[in-house]
Structure 1
Amino acid sequence: MNQDTSGNAFAPWNDASEKPLITFKNVTKKFGEFVAISDLNLDIYAREFFALLGPSGCGKTTLMRMLAGFETPTSGVIELAGQDIAAIPPNKREVNMMFQSYALFPHLNIWDNIAFGLRREKMPKDQMEARVEEMLRLTKMEKFARRKPHQVSGGQRQRVALARSLAKAPKLLLLDEPLGALDAKLRQDTQFELMDIQESTGTTFVIVTHDQEEAMTVASRVAVMDHGKLVQVDTPDVIYETPNSVYVADFIGDVNIIEGTAEANGESVSLTWAEGQPALIGSANQPISKVASAAMAIRPEKIAISSKKPTDRTNVLQGKVLDIAYLGNISTYHVQLDNGTVIKAQIANTRRIARRNFTWKDPVWLSWTDTAGIVLAV
């Protein structure tokens, strides 16, 4: 996570004295009868790398297009640095947008692509040249300045588009699925480059993505969206470890969802879920009524798998190995319980596998602690 100049963790959203850079106040956006954004309130702070995450059609792109000025709210107010931006046209906002397609000019070389917006603003020649060179250095594209876009790789074109977007020093840079066209390895490398560039420029980035791993990697905070509403806005670790709903738990990362009825018992919550199976004990980050319809969300990496029944774990279930997925760094075991429920458990592969401890059809015990599973109201 970002650091501020004093070396503390960057978290202006926890400081009541900090004023947000962007504020959405009761913003609704309708297209005819369809409600794309519904009465949304959100604050985004200067120097944040903020991610809007959700499935197709959840409203994240509409939110970004309103920030850019390509759409106007049906009702509500959007403020940038305390100013209502409704009446400000897109080209007059201190906002730049980087599209998934990069939208580079094929007939111009990379230097001229980056300089394009500065020329249109009639920036003095010496300032413009210094700014373009600075952007080339920032994106490590100095050696390619005289090449045309088709003469460099997809990842390099992505960097050129980023350099051009940052050249005008916007207060806010919007990134619409910026890494969607890159292959998996390059996308991962580019995510870290984006983070470095964002931190070194101090520009506020807002990224739209449906890729949960990307959002969790790059963002200081993530807004998980569904049907035009914000379901949870928090730091990646909080969203992963303590989701506020089954929707968020299921959308972010791999998870087992076990449904049943819950009863609060002091600090912990007991989930009765299947005949012949022991009740499961977990924690809750929201009040659970005496007997409530609920579900436990438990991450596969928090579940231990063993050939003998453990005696030091609160939650213990028995089953048989149904399937094994070897993913290099981890192996995922699908274990079927006596009642037919399948639970996923993950083990890190810390050394080369000569032979597995467990194989298909083996009887095994699954176990986890009383704080590993989160119980959520359904």
Structure 2
Amino acid sequence: MPQTVFAPWDDPRETPLIRFQNVTKKFGEFVAIDDLTLDIYAKEFFALLGPSGCGKTTMMRMLAGFEDPSSGRIDLAGQNIVPVPPNKRAVNMMFQSYALFPHLSIWDNIAFGLRRDKKDKDQIAARVDEMLKLTRLEKFARRKPHQISGGQRQRVALARSLAKAPKLLLLDEPLGALDKKLRQDTQFELMDIQETTGTTFVIVTHDQEEAMTVASRVAVMDEGRIMQVATPAEIYEAPNSVYVADFIGDVNIIEGRATPDGEELYRIDWAEGQEPLHAASARYFSAGQKCHLAIRPEKIFIATEKPVDAQNAVQGRVLDIAYLGNLSTYHVELPGGQIIKAQTANTRRLARRSITWEDRVWVGWSATAGVLLDQ
């Protein structure tokens, strides 16, 4: 049986679990969140992504109840939660520091919230054992937090947050304290746990790779506003602005003026004395309209000879080569001084690389390789 794609945001019959409606948050004169409207659906793994100070943590603190909006409303499962105190919301928050009790065992740390809710002993024991199994911590139940690794502490904090079965779990930079390899392993664990429990996760991160790995959808934020909300693939392949294209992954941006040149095709005049470039776009541009062509480095090829059939080919000089093991990124200076990055997979030994520093090379790409943007 074919697996159905999880995309409740595309179904008009679906009701969002969380709804921000015209939410503004001011701290004195400073506007942290600016008239924000956003829907998040049940069982989503939703990422708020943006630079420091963009408002993503403020949004999370409003969901948790630690901050009140200056105006607008926030609904959770159809109820306005703004007047509801934090401890009465079906929301739990996992902090970057994990905030575990050092004097309590792992078992007691997970049981803490359930005991405060006056659950009976058998219920608590069954739920804690379930959480230990879910996070693969059964062997460590009697240890104290200082006796386990950082990755295991992260899982304890997660188990404790999920023990009370919240409708919504908020994760504030949850993997910030882990090293890169452990971060990557833990990202997949988080996804598995989220899928197993069906809890809605909202994660705040400034790490684009993390957001792209774990999230069903990503909201890219800047200065209290949401610039784009879409799946990771859409954000990467079809950004709606230079800001989003530039924030996610590596990108080349070429500025120019677009002129229609056939159905959904445009000619781009971009540098004095240079052949125009060609780009396909469903977005309409009027003759001479300013545009930005965004092209990912992996979509650009590099060669020593001019390609015969390339829709776009520009000659330049290799300024720099970044060797990343599986990939090499070539920084090529074009005649106008613009630098283009082209990426190739290293399928051969380095000694056999045909292009090196200061070489004259051609970089090229197809008309559909880039995204034509108007802002």
TM range (shorter): over 0.9
Deviations 1:291-334 (A, max 9, x none): 21111100000001111111122010111111100001100000
In the alignment, structure 1 residue 257 sits paired with structure 2 residue 253 = yes
In the alignment, structure 1 residue 352 sits paired with structure 2 residue 349 = yes
Cα distance between partner residues in 1 of 2:159 and 2:32: 31
- 356-365 or 156-165, which moves further after superposition? 356-365
> Partner residue of 1:290?
287
C-alpha displacement of 1:281: 1.3
In the alignment, structure 1 residue 342 sits paired with structure 2 residue 339 = yes
> Partner residue of 1:333?
330
C-alpha displacement of 1:288: 1.9
Cα distance between partner residues in 2 of 1:127 and 1:301: 53
From the superposition, tell whether residues 67 and 210 of structure 1 become closer, same or farther in structure 2 (CA, over 3 Å).
same
> Partner residue of 2:155?
159
In the alignment, structure 1 residue 276 sits paired with structure 2 residue 276 = no
* 1:242 and 1:285 in contact (8 A); partners too: no
In the alignment, structure 1 residue 365 sits paired with structure 2 residue 365 = no
* 2:251 and 2:297 in contact (8 A); partners too: yes
In the alignment, structure 1 residue 138 sits paired with structure 2 residue 134 = yes
In the alignment, structure 1 residue 203 sits paired with structure 2 residue 204 = no
C-alpha displacement of 1:284: 2.8
SS class of match (2:302): strand
* 2:313 and 2:362 in contact (8 A); partners too: yes
TM-score, normalised to structure 1, is 0.97
From the superposition, tell whether residues 285 and 52 of structure 1 become closer, same or farther in structure 2 (CA, over 3 Å).
farther
> Partner residue of 2:296?
299
* 1:244 and 1:285 in contact (8 A); partners too: no
Q: Percent identical across equivalent pairs?
A: 73
Deviations 1:181-213 (A, max 9, x none): 111111011101000000010000000000000
Residue ranges of structure 2 left out of the alignment (5+ in a row): none
From the superposition, tell whether residues 351 and 133 of structure 1 become closer, same or farther in structure 2 (CA, over 3 Å).
farther
Cα distance between partner residues in 2 of 1:285 and 1:244: 12
Amino acid at match of 1:375: L
Cα distance between partner residues in 2 of 1:121 and 1:319: 67
Deviations 1:11-45 (A, max 9, x none): 00000010000000111111111111111110000
SS class of match (1:23): strand
Cα distance between partner residues in 2 of 1:69 and 1:287: 43
> Partner residue of 1:72?
68
1:218 to 214, 222, 230: 214
* 1:96 and 1:170 in contact (8 A); partners too: yes
SS class of match (1:192): helix
> Partner residue of 1:245?
241
C-alpha displacement of 1:349: 1.3
* 2:21 and 2:38 in contact (8 A); partners too: yes
> Partner residue of 1:118?
114
Amino acid at match of 1:297: A
- 149-158 or 268-277, which moves further after superposition? 268-277
TM-score, normalised to structure 2, is 0.98
Structure 1 moving runs of 4+ over 3 Å: none
Amino acid at match of 2:101: F
Cα distance between partner residues in 1 of 2:175 and 2:266: 41
Cα distance between partner residues in 1 of 2:89 and 2:48: 21
Cα distance between partner residues in 2 of 1:127 and 1:352: 60
> Partner residue of 2:319?
322
> Partner residue of 2:184?
188
SS class of match (2:236): helix
C-alpha displacement of 1:363: 1.2
Amino acid at match of 1:135: M
Residue ranges of structure 1 left out of the alignment (5+ in a row): none
Cα distance between partner residues in 1 of 2:293 and 2:3: 37
User: What is the number of equivalent residue pairs in this alignment?
Assistant: 374
